[in-house]
Each structure stands twice: as structure tokens, then as C-alpha cells.
Structure 1
Amino acid sequence: MTAADPIMSEHRKVTRQIPPPLEDLLAAQKKAFLQDPNPSYQERVDRLKALKKALLSNKDALLSALDEDFGGRSRSESSLTEIIPNLGNIHYTIKQLKKWMQPSKRKLNPQLLPASAKVVYQPLGVVGIVVPFNYPLFLSLSPLLTILAAGNRAMIKMSEFTPKTSELVARIIEQTFPANLVTVVCGDAQVATEFTSLHFDHIIFTGSTAVGHHVMQAAAKNLTPVTLELGGKSPVIVDNDFPIQEAAERVCYAKALNAGQTCVAPDYILVKNDQKAAFIEHYLNAFRKMYPTVNGNNDYTSIINDRHHQRLLQLLADAKAQGATIHTPGNEEINDGSRRIPIHLIENPTDNMGVMQEEIFGPLLPVIGIDSLDEAIQFVQQRPRPLALYYFGSDTNNQEAVLAQTHSGGVCINECLLHVAVEDMPFGGIGPSGMGHYHGHEGFLTFSKAKSVLTKGKLNSTKMIYPPYGGWLQKKMLKFLSGRQ
């Protein structure tokens, strides 16, 4: 079977042998890397094209696997969030790669002349990718394509919560690349622990902040650098000079996407007190328009598994018990056998409620009234730095104030989520929401070693400062160099 042949999980099973131990897989990749430590531009492009071909050939099977793993996931939504972004990133990366690979010339101090200086971008080696459940295709192949563009090899640990998708990705990769270039590992949390303990040349982990601590601890034992893409509570600030209905519709789409199971999903709303009721009303109307029903609606994604479903219901029950006002689009009973949960707006939550203490990662959305933009900024400043921040307001001075006075991994002004889709911008968190960047040129740099190279010829001007010290020429040079400072 070639990379172009679709792998249909139900009708064309590929017999896969029991994989070798993780240490052996890593050793094979490191050995292969030493034999080809700096793949050519054409080699890298060929690998990216092979990945694109495999993705296109298996699109339908992947969409079906995602739907099955979630117990109900929109094929259109999966295409928009998992397939199309990867195809766009591959196209963009191929277009930019030759320029990224070029050494960059650097300037020299006069005392070092005659010489030349440059920075070359060298592959790191073997990179480990740890993939979460919420976007298993995008969050495995998006880092992979950048890792391959930078000339590296990769081992991918897929999530055990998406078994159909994980197994299918493993088979697609197996049919597309040799195991000593890219390989996929499936398994539970114990396998993930073993995986992150391997002596990779770099690890990129996407997941919760709590697990991020463990990944960083494991990597530190090997002095392995890490890129952590975590999450946190991404705020939305709605100012009173932006149309409230439009703001509510944009936030609603962003929160309902993947049923809120998105690391950059809006996690709470800060809206002026005199507009709070209007925001809630417009939000619920927007949800009803997008999803006239939730029961049996194939456009609306289900919660990934029973554990997360129960966790969300418990957060909701806790908020109700502590006096929050809950708003829903209707009284529809979900009896289709799925784990779908309609949107729940939680008005006036307190800091004692679970929904304000942890990342929600589901279709629950606290709505908090504020009296001023300064109050909203202070509210954000007093909490851990989020992965994303969203500000709705037309005044450019207020926009600049929000940008200058808050810290977050990324920002959208008058929009949510879509900064992640910009291929030419870095993506990454700050503090508890992560560290490091990938996507685009910054991703290429993350997975490359920027190596400084100084080149000199036979003429050695440095001799003029060799010992013994105190000669007249040395004194003149030192005086000249000191005067330049």
C-alpha cells in the first residue's frame, strides 16, 4: 500500500506487529539522523509533500475516526479545524522553507576583521511530540510538519482517549515514512510517562498545565528542551463601544466549536454591567441559530468521554449550589445517547466556584459584570497568564491599553480563536499557559539550532593583541577599542 492509498479502518486492516520498546525506536531514529544530519531542501520538501498526499488520501477515514472517537463530531468542523489547517501549513511551509534555511549574515567588530560571521540553522535531531485528545490530527501533524521542515525526525505519542484516530494516524504514518524518520506510539498514561522520560533532542507537549509540570520534570532529567502548549482560563473583555450582538455571536461560535474542548476557547466573559443582560440574550439567540437543537445534532460535538462529561456536570452543579444563575438556550433533554452538553452561561460566578478555579474545557461559560475597562484589566492581571486573550472594542487607545497591560500567549481584537489559523504568526503560551513557540518561521527556529559560525582566513589581525602585553601597538588598539564603547 502506498501513501496515496486510503487506509479504511473497517475494511482494509493492516497487520501491525508489536512495536519495539520506546528506547529502541529512539535509538534507531538517532542512528538514522547521524547518517543524514542535515537533509537537503528537496528532501524536506519531499517529506512534506508525502505528508500532504497521505492526509488527502485518508481524509474521509480520518473524519470518520474522529466522529467515532468523540461519539459525535461534525465532519465539517473536523475538516475546518484538523484537515484544512494542516494542508495550509504544509503549503505555506514549502513556499517559505528555502528562505528559512538560508544562513543569516551577521556584523563583526573591527578587531575581528578580516573575517565573516553567520548563523546557520541546523536540525536538532529527534523530537518527541505528545498529542492531546481535543484536536488529535491538527496537534500531531502541525508540529510534525514543522519538525520535518527543520530537518528533524520525530516520535509521536497519540492520546489514548482517541483510539480510532490514534491507530489510524499510526497506520498512515507507517505507510508514509520509514520508522526511523517518523513513528507513532499509542498507549495509556504509563506509556506517556515513559515517552517523556526518553532522551529526545526536544519535546513538544500540548495538554493541561498540571501534566505540563510532569513533562518538564521528566525532560529536565535529560536536559531536554521543551515547548509546552498548555491552556488556562482565556478571558474575553467586551467593551461598550463594540456592537454587543456581534460580539456575542463571535464568542458563541468560538466557544461552541468542538463543544469548548479547545485550549484557546473563551473561558470567561468580562462585560460591562449595563450590557450583561443584552450579551446573555444575544449569546443564547446566536447559539439557537447555529444549533436549533442539540439532541442528535451532527453539527455539534460531543464531550470526549464519560469522565470529562461528568467533570463538566459537576462543575455546573457546583456553580448552581453556590448560587450562580444559569442560562441555557432551552430545556431540551439530551436523550440521543451522546455526551452532548448545550451551552450554559453562568452569571455572576464567584472565585470559590470550580468554573473560576480551573480551565473549563467544555461548553460552560462564566459571565462576569464589570464597571470599567480598568477593572477588567485588573481582573486579568490578578490571575495566571492565559494562553489567549480576546478584546472587543473599537477605540484604538483602549486596544493598546489592553495589549500593553496584560500578558497572554496571543491576542485577538474583535475576534476569538482565529489568531491560531494565521500561518505566519507564532503560537505559544506564557508562564502557566506554556513556553516556547511553534507555527511558521518561529516553529522552524524552535526545532533548529541557530549555530554561530565565525570564519577567518590566513591573515591573523588578532596577533596584534597576543602577549606579552604593554606594547605601543596594543596600547593604541586598546585605547581605540575602549573609545568605541
Structure 2
Amino acid sequence: MTIHMDRPQPADAVADADSLNALLARQQTAHRGEMSPSLATRRDRLDRLEAMLVKHQDDFARAIDADFGRRDAIVTGLTETMTVRAALRHARSHLKAWMKPERVGVSWAFQPGRAYIHRQPLGVVGIIAPWNYPLQLLLSPLVGALAAGNRALLKPSEYTPLFGEALRNAVASVFREDEVAVVTGGPDVAAAFTALPFDHLIFTGSTSVGRRVAEAAGRNLTPVTLELGGKSPAIIDASADMKLTAKRLAWGKLLNTGQTCVAPDYVLTPRERLTETVEALKSAMLAQYPGFSDNPDYTSIIAPRHYERLKHLAAEAQAAGAEVIWLGEPDDAKRILPPALIVGATPDMTVMREEIFGPLLPIIPYDGVDDAITRVNASDRPLALYWFGEDARTRDHVLASTISGGVTVNDVILHLAQDGLPFGGVGASGYGHYHGEHGFRAMSKEKPVFVQSKLAAGGLLYPPYGALARRMLALLQRFA
């Protein structure tokens, strides 16, 4: 797995393949010594994780702000710290019920035997997170891993080295190395990490890197949860309240300056409402972030190459005939890229072929709901889909006719914040789920168990076979 770095890693924080293998071996040995941690042990680990998060939340916010160049602590608090603490509360309150064996029905032919599903920890879980939400995308899956009784190794992005170092030290202060440990480093470390024979691997990042992660994990037959991205559409229906829709779209698109895997990537709007959509979005964006360059609420683009890539996407679209409406002036020194609305983008433009991951927003007119559905289905299945409107029949038609990782109706992103819902992609946007019970189950072995009774009649079918066995077989074939 090749990941380009724009910043060097601290020399003493970089792991090598030998130390990674030794670390994994320590966690595997510890797991074999305690294969089914008690409810009390799991709750204690969750409590320690929350205590660490509370104690170091300001340190984490400062480190993330420095790694980005500028990201307000409120953004980190709302999108990362609060999200992880909610996941912790949810897990603690439901953990006892999740751990109980699940009774399942038994066919009459096998009664009075009984059957149940026994959930047990898989062992050691590897978690790889990207730079855009470096805390949430490491610790949210860790909540599920610890709730399920696993041990875990965490690999933060090399684009957030200050945060990675802060997390490494904080984790080491509350967890033994054979419980949870953080591994930092660049592309070589990332490649060695994905090659480890984990019992489960969770990767959040781009589709292109996700393919390489899956390939590396496949050599060990390691099951993988891939949370990728893609072009998540927002469909505005003719029945939508445009002013409210624009406010919510602007918030979701510009949160973290569009550097969000479930950010609306492009907008589909009725052709007759195109001008209204453009004007409403301009107004909403300028109201939420006046004076982009000097506004501390507005986040920098993470690194120079990402900043230049976004400028190139806009320039290429404009050169190919699209109208690019900048809502401010780019600030190259601070890597502050103001929003740009792109009208007239065509499917062959790069801005419509690749995930944008920034504050550029193509607005595409459509003719009738089936035209919008066709446009969505012409691309890879997205991680998220958003629909705005009041027409329930049209809403249900869109939901039934498209496939996406998740959906929020009349808002954006918020399905991700519901711990009772699974989070995950489909197709090119990933596979597997986590959050809440879905994460607990994903990181558990759901072991089927059948318990035979002394009174079972199975012995009637043991050889040597005679007339009774034939009659019993006929009966079973008819009714079992």
C-alpha cells in the first residue's frame, strides 16, 4: 500500500516489520490466555477509553488543528469526541444484552435438543484510519472491538503525525500494550501493518487504497471491513423547501471543508429549480462561513497536494465548459479553499468521475425523478445518498430504486451518528458494517451451538437400516 507523505514522522514513533510482528504476537498470546473476557473486564476497558478521551480531548484537538493547519476545536468536538463518547455510552448500556447467547428455533425432528448462537471475541483487530477524522475513525471501531472482547492495534494516518503521537502516548498511559496499542509511521509501516495476520481488519479510506488493503489482507484470509467513499449524491425533489435544504446541504458539504467521506459530492436538482438551487446554496454557504480566509471556523485543506488537486479539478471543469462560481479567493499560504459551485459539469469531467473530498459542489439539473435515479445508478454505488422533499411516494421510489451505503432524508450525514444503525458501504464504497451492535457482531465469531438431549430419537436412524428406518425417513422427508 503506497501512501504519499507531505510531512515526516517523528523518528522515535516509527515501527518496523519485526516490531509489528512482535506486538501482534504479544496481543495474540494475551488473547489466548483470556479468550472470553467478562462483562466487567470489557466495561473496564470501555471506561478507561472514555477516561483517556476526556483527559486528553484538548490535547487531541490542538494536535489535529496543527496537523491540518487550521481546524477549530469545536469541529473536532462535534464530529469526533462527542461521536466517540456517544458510541461508548451506547455500548456500555447494551453490552450485557449483546453478550447473551441468542436462542434459535429447532426443527421438531431434532427436539428436545436446543440451539443457540454464542458470540465470542475474534482475537486481535487491526484498525487503519485516514486523516480527515483521525480520532473518530480510530476510536469508534475500537469501541466495537473492545465491547466484543478483542485486543486491537491502531494505525493513524501519516498526514496527522502530531495527533498520532498524542494518541500513542495517551493510549499507552491507560492500556497495556497487549490490550491496545498505537503504531505510527509512513507507507512502509502501513504496508507491513496490512500484511499482518489479524483476526479482523477495519480500513477507512479511499477506494483505490482499499483495494490494496483487501488484497494484502486476502493473503492471510483476514476478514476485512472496508469503509470507503465515492460520489454521494443529494437529490432535491420538486417538493423540497429550498431555503431549508440549502442550509442543510451547505452545512454537510462544508463541514471539515468537504473532507468527509459522507459529504454530499454533487447535487441533482429539478431543471426548473436550477437557478433557485444555485442562489440558495450561495446564500447559505456565505451565511455560515463569512470571510473564508480569515474565518477560524473554516478548516484548511490537509496538505499541499490535496489543495492543488482540488484547484485542478475546478480549473479542468471550467476549461471544459462548466461554470465555476467561486464564493471567495483561495489562500494558498493557509491552504484555505473557498467553496465553488460548478454548474454544467458533464460525466466525462474528472470532477464527476472522482470523489471530490473538498468544497467543490457540482449542481446537475435533471428532468423527472427517473432521470435522477438513472444518473445515480450510472455510477458506482455511493457510501451515502441524500433526498430532500415532502413527497413520500417519490421518496420511497428513490429509496427502492437506488442502492447506497446509507441514507439521510431531509438532511445530510446524520445517519452516521445513529449508533442503532449500521454504518458501511456497498460495492465500490466498501463492505461490512460497524457502529453499535453491528460493530460488536462484526468483531465477534457468531458460533452456532446445538445441544443434544438424552431423549433424542436420532438413534432410530442408526444402521443397520430396516423397516423402521425407512418409515422414519419417509416421515422426516414429509414434515421436517
Q: TM-score range by the shorter chain?
A: over 0.9
- Is the partner of 2:292 in helix, strand or coil? coil
Residue 358 of structure 1 aligns with which residue?
Answer: 354
Q: CA deviation at 1:96?
A: 0.4
**2:416 paired with 1:420:** yes
* 1:349 matches 2:359: no
Does residue 1:43 correspond to 2:41, yes or no? yes
Tell me, yes or no, if structure 1 residue 387 matches structure 2 residue 383: yes
State the SS of the aligned residue for 1:342: coil
Distance apart, 1:472 and its partner CA: 2.6
Candidates 298, 318, 321, aligned match of 1:320:
318
| Matches for 1:200-279 after TM superposition, within 5 Å | 200-279=198-277
The alignment partner of 2:335 has SS state of coil
Deviations 1:2-58 (A, max 9, x none): xxxxxxxxxxx9x97978611101001000000000100010001000000000001
* Structure 2 SS opposite 1:136: coil
Give the alignment of 1:39-78 within 5 angstroms.
39-78=37-76
**Which letter maps to 2:56?**
N
Q: Distance in 1 between matches of 2:42 and 2:321?
A: 57
CA shift digits 1:46-82 (9 cap, x unpaired)? 1000000000001111110111000000111110001
Deviations 1:247-269 (A, max 9, x none): 11110100000000000000011
Offset from partner CA, 1:160-199 (integer Å, 9 cap, x none): 0001111101111111100111111101112111100110
User: Displacement of 1:108 after TM fit?
Assistant: 1.1
- Following the alignment from structure 2 to structure 1, what is the Cα–Cα distance between the partners of residues 380 and 292? 33
Q: Which residue in the other structure is 2:7 paired with?
A: none
SS of 1:224 mapped into structure 2: coil
Match of 1:404 in 2: 400
State the alpha-carbon separation in 1 of the partners of residues 239 and 113 from structure 2. Answer: 58
Alignment-derived partner of residue 334 in structure 1: 331
Q: 1:473 aligns with which of 455, 468, 474?
A: 468
Cα RMSD (Å): 1.5
Name the SS for the 2:94 alignment partner. helix
In 1, the alpha carbon distance for the partners of 2:194 and 2:15 equals 20
CA distance in 2, matches of 1:405, 1:16: 48
Deviations 1:93-124 (A, max 9, x none): 10000000000111112222231111010100
Q: 1:436 aligns with which of 429, 432, 435?
A: 432
Give the counterpart of 1:375 among 371, 374, 387.
Answer: 371
For the 8 Å contact 2:113–2:456, the answer to whether it is kept is no
CA distance in 2, matches of 1:219, 1:195: 10
**Which range moved further: 111-120 or 283-292?**
111-120
1:383-425 residue CA offsets vs partner (Å, 9 max, x unmatched): 1000000011111111110111000000111110010001110
Alignment of 1:78-227 (within 5 A): 78-227=76-225
In 2, Cα distance between equivalents of 1:334 and 1:155: 38
The TM-score with structure 1 as length reference comes to 0.95
**SS of residue paired to 2:240:** coil
**Which runs of structure 1 show a deviation greater than 2 angstroms over 4 or more consecutive aligned residues?**
15-20, 332-335, 457-460
Alpha-carbon shift at residue 244 of structure 1 (Å)? 1.1
**Count of aligned pairs:** 469
Contact 1:114 1:461 in 2 (8 A): no
- AA of the residue aligned to 2:474: K
Q: Which residue in the other structure is 2:4 paired with?
A: none
Q: d(CA) in 1 for partners of 2:62 and 2:260?
A: 20
Picking from 17, 20, 23, the partner of 1:22 is 20
Identical amino acids, percent of aligned pairs: 45
The answer for unaligned runs of 5 or more in structure 1 is 1-12
Name the residue aligned to 1:451.
Answer: 447
Cα distance in structure 1, aligned partners of 2:248 and 2:472? 64
Alignment match, 1:307: 305
Amino acid at match of 2:355: E
State the distance in 2 between where 1:456 and 1:323 align. 72
Determine the C-alpha separation between the residues in 2 that align with 1:402 and 1:54: 43
| Partners of 2:13 and 2:185 within 8 A in 1 | no
Q: Is the 8 A contact 2:263 2:413 kept in 1?
A: yes
Inter-partner Cα distance in structure 2 for 1:202 and 1:279 = 44
SS in 2 for 1:361: coil
Deviates more, 1:288-297 or 1:110-119: 110-119
Q: Partner letter of residue 200 of structure 1?
A: F
Q: Give the secondary-structure state (helix, strand or coil) at the position aligned to 1:155.
A: strand
Deviation of 1:333 after TM superposition, in Å, equals 5.4
Whether the 8 Å contact between 1:284 and 1:328 is mirrored in structure 2 is no
Aligned-pair distance for 1:340?
1.1
1:225 & 1:317 partners in 2: Cα distance?
A: 41
Query: Residues 289 and 16 (structure 1 numbering): CA distance in 2 closer, same or farther, change over 3 Å?
Result: closer
Provide the secondary structure at the position in 2 that maps to 1:351: coil
Counterpart contact for 2:388–2:409, Cα < 8 Å:
yes
Call closer, same or farther: CA 1:307–1:378 in 2, change over 3 Å.
Answer: same
Distance across 2 between alignment mates of 1:296 and 1:195? 40
Q: Is the 8 A contact 2:14 2:189 kept in 1?
A: no
